[in-house]
Chain A
């Protein structure tokens, strides 16, 4: 049986620092629970990408050393293949370092430059502090707006170009730069974001939206996804929302002594 969604997992060995496999597991199970099958193919350094072979591309975050290897590997035809896939309607989710490298690039504290592929009109420069903590955004996709909760941990400050669309508006936390009020970037069916935790288990709406895109690419027509029992996901989402709204301080103070 051929797969219902074909996922290209970019750099599974290099870019996996924020539990990225949780996001992949969510794609896999949420299809499986609906009787659909996900095929995952890992693509590492030195391997090529056929832009017509996938419905969904995923790339996570890595440590600096690994990210430099990946930036070098993406330069040229591999980056072009990713852009061409997205322009043909393939869905893409890039988290943290993956988000930075799908923008124009990353300038480190020491001034060194890691080039990105330029899928997103976004550029990142390292700040001297890390932006860390729970984050809550109002994300808008295809005209629907929902709260998406996650955790962020990044030194990079990302600025979007004038025509670029953020994934959402920051309700709590830092987002792209800590000052712009925007978080992430979207273009066609591609999403770049700093949110991990991992992102998808406690944001099932977002997972299903991306899977809807991938299925539409696969079948050529919009697919209605059957509703699932998301009681546990909703409970975990509520805890994450509470964290982002800053109940932490009270909670810790209340426990002392």
Chain B
């Protein structure tokens, strides 16, 4: 590292320590903000020192889980991995991770960064990755990003920018992502298991028109959201052939799944402890990313199987003897997959849904109406709604047809958690579906009750 970059990095690290000492959250992005202010080129310098190169992961949904799985694979292959903390996924978070890194063997260390969709072009311009994994674009927090078309256009422009193109690892099932690979060398991943198809596009699916000619797409199979085996009846464009294909999702209810995945290295089987079809697809993305980084499929498969749930993503906890599972639900596509995962469990359900409307959640709460809660409602014994917009959730369930006797409106999250836990009979499980900041609020309550560890310690 040159002297200037090294000096800038030291100042930035000190700022991070100061921030933590003042109790400002985890302080995870602060050194990055400082570094970008005093010497933005230092980010390039530090990133370019990583001998193993870097890989970026972006998507609306699943990027945190996929990044963790990919981290497991890279470590199993013997690399020292420099990675950003969950949620610190803007350029400042990536810069902070690079500043904080003191790799023992820089010649073989590699960077692995989860990137916010809007921040991806800026991160790519500074980090010069070897590969990028792009998984899906769903409508999310429209007031923060603008509509998803704008993101798709910025990603396209990013790939047209001068400089070496990284290895592209793309979701073939998402028409908007597939369009990014047109005419480019890609590693395509996706699902090929008709047994898990839903039969029809859900309400309010995105990206269902042909990117080339505008005609509505037809789907031979829909997996979830607008992801599926699609083709255009007019111009003939269709889902690209899969290089990494889930040929049997192997869903095992709420406890996990055992997907069988075909790769250019042959078939591998994974044993995931995170449930649901979306996590099977996350694992396929991580496996494809690992292959792009030169890791053997069997090594990656074994490592991905060992990765526990990410912070708040199907995270299991025990609170005063009651089982609790945290399922982050920050947008319609993610919430729909959570609902579908809950339905895999045949028993009665007790759910706590928490809705905040701060910047990180999206200030517009209208998306709760695009979630298909209805199939779950006949099977819930109690629904507790909480958070700053608890009353809007209450209306969502009221107009969705929930029996009012089952609905409890408790805006204060601490009181709501206590009440929801009390409503669960012995041996039952409370399923908690919070938005991003609501998850932090509830997790803070769980930490206070000794049921969970603090977030920045976990990283």
Contact = CB atoms under 8 A, between A and B. Distances in A.
A196 B366 CA distance: 8
17 contacts: A13-B208, A16-B203, A17-B147, A18-B142, A26-B399, A63-B147, A63-B148, A66-B209, A132-B143, A151-B363, A151-B364, A196-B366, A201-B369, A201-B392, A232-B409, A235-B394, A236-B394
Interface in A224-253: 232-233, 235-236, 238-239, 243, 248, 252
B418 interface: no
Interface in A60-101: 63-66, 69
A19 B370 contact: yes
Interface string A179-214: 000000000000000001110011000000000000
A236 to B, nearest CB: 4
A33 B344 CA distance: 32
Interface string A107-129: 00000000000000000000000
Interface in A17-62: 17-19, 21-22, 25-26, 29
Contact of B142 (A17, A22, A65): A17
Given A29-B398, A64-B147, A65-B214, 5 more contacts: A29-B401, A65-B209, A196-B364, A201-B392, A239-B389
Contacts of B398: 29, 232
A134 B389 CA distance: 13
A14 to B, nearest CB: 9
B119 interface: no
A190 B148 CA distance: 30
Contact of A235 (B364, B391, B399): B391
Of B148, B204, B367, the most chain A CB neighbours within 10 A belong to: B204
A178 interface: no
Contacts of B208: 13
Contacts of B400: 25
A246 to B, nearest CB: 12
A69 to B, nearest CB: 7
B49 interface: no
Contact of B366 (A132, A198, A248): A198
A21 B369 contact: yes
Q: Interface size for chain A: under 10, 10 to 19, 20 to 34, or 35 or more residues? A: 35 or more
Contacts of A248: 363
B367 to A, nearest CB: 6
Given A151-B363, A236-B394, A239-B391, A17 B203 contact: no
A257 B24 CA distance: 6
Interface in A142-180: 151, 153
Contacts of B379: none
Contact of B399 (A133, A151, A196, A201): A201
B414 to A, nearest CB: 14
Interface in B200-237: 203-204, 206, 208-209, 214, 216
B391 A236 contact: yes
Nearest to B146: A130
B399 A153 contact: no
Contacts of B446: none
Please indicate which of the listed interface residues B146, B364, B369, B409 has the most CB atoms of chain A within 10 Å of its own CB: B369
Contact of A25 (B358, B391, B392, B399): B399
Contacts of A202: 391-392, 395
A21 B370 contact: yes
Contact of B149 (A18, A25, A64, A243): A64
Contacts of B130: none
Contacts of A232: 391, 394-395, 398, 409
Nearest 4 Cβ contacts at the A-B interface = A19-B369, A22-B369, A236-B391, A19-B366
B365 interface: yes
Interface in B342-379: 357-358, 363-370
Which of A64, A239, A243 gathers most chain B CB within 10 Å?
A239
B209 A18 contact: no
A195 to B, nearest CB: 11
Contact of B367 (A19, A26, A132, A239): A19
Interface string B80-119: 0000000000000000000000000000000000000000
A133 B399 CA distance: 24
A197 B391 CA distance: 13
Given A25-B399, A151-B364, A198 B369 contact: yes
B445 to A, nearest CB: 15
B163 interface: no
A40 B24 CA distance: 51
